[in-house]
Structure 1
Amino acid sequence: MAKRSWIKGLGLAVVAGVLVAGGMYWWGSSSSVPPATVDFAKLDAKEFDALYKRGEQVFRAGDCAACHSSPTTGAELAGGVPMVTPMGTLYGTNISPSKEHGIGNWTADDLYRAVAAGIAPGRKNLYPAMPYASYHQVTRADVDALWVWLMKQPAVEVANKPSEMHFPFSIRPAVAMWNALNRPAAREFDMSVDELVRGKYLVDVLGHCAECHSPRTATFAMDASRYLEGNTIEGSYAPAITPDALSQRGWTKDDLVRFFRTGVSPQGVMTFRMASVLDHSTSRMAEADVRAMAAYLTQNREMPGPNAQLAAVPEGQVNVKGEHLYLGLCAGCHGAQGAGQPHSSVPMSTNTTAMFPTPINLIRVIREGVHERDLAHGERMQAMPGFADRLSDEEMADLVNYMRQTWGGRPGDVTAAQVAEHVKTIDSSH
């Protein structure tokens, strides 16, 4: 009898497990869709033109091209951008109107479901690298406008590159389980004409800033309890961008607007993933929208500005070896006192990279350098050579410590062993 009871109990447990898993899969691979805001078949020319223009604004504000452009040809909808995660590598997909490779067969309902819930036609679960956990509050009107704009773009006949996820993350239906645990329910953002509300929508929903700038939980969901408090991702540090953190690093609302629009400000220049954000998104957004983002991020506080929070380094406590390296390698462009050169090389004296709690970005820029490039609205940066082949880990630690002590308000405690660990993290992201 005891054996039969044990077997019966095990059977009931298995059935219960299957029912729970099935329920989670059903919940995680489905989503309701609000009705379309327009009748697409009855749009007149003026209505279509207005919707088309709004769709492009949504495309820019949503930073779609940063992941869905081609890294080889630059075609914005062709896909192919690699996204390296601890679970494997994903590639941005083709979102052009190609009927074979893109979304040419999608309806506006299909697009809403994919954007807001991560569910593609056929109940295909998208990996949460598609930021539907942030897009879940997108308005149906914005998605309708985006669909109109996308469907009028040239079709790009480029096949999607398959993902390279490690087992068991390669089992795509399992994403439904992640959705059941972590995906917020799709619901439209409560919009108003208030600038701070508009800024929150642009930062939290369309701009999905928290996807990179917030730490992750054990299940790799965004940690809402540490909203915008910074995170290391793809071999670089996405810094904390809370009002307090921005104030402590010397940002002002106007400096943020300048940074978003041109890519450069006294606090630094857009690099790494943010370079494509500038190219495809913030530099092309309406200035009023950029100002709304800056207003929300600063909460319209009066900020002290660059360097106002940094105490002078006591004499004799600066890394002397690092100072000599800086004067020999960096001062020719950035100046002995870190003043930089306008439209050419950024100042170090107000640069926030030296202020971060981790030195990984400083190490990466010094190792890899920066390409010469035009930024936006007339700004540009000259090339900075990389010094990976000229500096040992110990020399890199000395140089980094000097810069962090002098301009970052940080202790000079980075070791050669820590540099080596950061280099491994950087290299694994490529």
Structure 2
Amino acid sequence: MVSSRSVAALALVLAVGLLTVGFVGGTTVVDPDSDGVPPVTELRDGTAVFDADTDGDGLEDGAERRYGTDPTAADTDGDGLDDGAEVSEVGTDPLEADTDGDGLEDGTERRETGTDPTSSDTDGDGLADGDELREYETDPLAVDSDDDGLSDFGELEEYGTAPANPDTDGDGLEDGPEVLEHETEPTVADTDDDGLADGEEVHEYGTEPTTSDTDGDGLSDGAEVNRQDVFPDADPLRTDIYVEADTMERTDLERREVERIVTEFDEAPLENPDGSTGAALHVDLDETIPWDSETDVGDLNEIRAQYFDQQGLGYHYLVIVEDVAGDTSKGNVIGKAGLGTMMVESQSGRDQTGSTAMHELGHSLGLSNTDFEGIDTDEYSFSSYSSVMNYNAPRDYYGFSASGGVGDFDDWGYLDDHMFTPATSFVGSDD
């Protein structure tokens, strides 16, 4: 008779045999849940013998053993994605929380940021997705986060601009147009340092933001716009010339004569950035100074030091005197001038003082005998060199030459290229 202890032992052996070898009535039963893992191994590892996917992550226990994942944990790497989804759907590494090494976990990329967890740079702009979100605050799904025409990477590595701010320097021009269209500095609001922001120059005034003096008249764009107290009616797109004129007691420069000179400049063949021609001559008839019987160059320097109110502000200085000492009438010229300073003898003939003033203004602006031998001589007939700078010009003639023909000289052309403007060292570009 078989004891109960023997029956129990036999049952245990049979159970182990069934689990290990699996022979039941001639049928092989090696893996009850068909997950590829022997029952004894499942019992040992804590997986379910009769459930192929113990942790319910979409990977059977046997597959998890092959991938190296934990068959008892749905998310082996703790990145927020089940192991099965990582392997079968997303293509990420279930053993690595940040598959692409961009600083963002796979689950975060998949569910929150919308980035590709298998590509460290989803938008292909040269910046890792994690850096874009955490360091630069840019959009990892957009190559140009601020839509300014420059890629995020280009802004950071090449131009030094802010990739999340379309106008880094706050000048009214976006970074892209500054670099690609206007050639201005996108990190400096006033590229040419003329007192006007680049955006103002482009959108409001039409001036050139890379050139401080758009019209080339020697006055900065900012000074012409902002210092109307010093330069009334100045236009940064048209040549402006300023003259302070003082008259000695018992002398006169008639307003009519001044207007004739102004008209000559207004009608001059000088091209301006705004498409107009001519120059605006502004003459400030300032004050009357004490009379003297004659005035030489030394006296002129003293007068200039005492009465020239606009010195250092870009003005030429003209004084009408009783008599230019040591000078005699040579044709139409009774005066002296250097760059920026003029002295003219008052004359009784109609328009003669004004004509002489225009001659000396030519010298003050830069015309001299060293540029053309017909200036301040009578070597050329007036018909061959029709200029107030020619001693053969009529005493009441106003005008500079413009033809530049054979044996001639183009006064206006020379001034267009070489016009002298006195120092503006005392002029600020702001109000």
TM-score (norm: length of structure 1): 0.25
Larger Cα Rg: Structure 1 or Structure 2?
2
**RCO higher in structure (CA 8 A, sep ≥6):** 1
More helix by share: 1
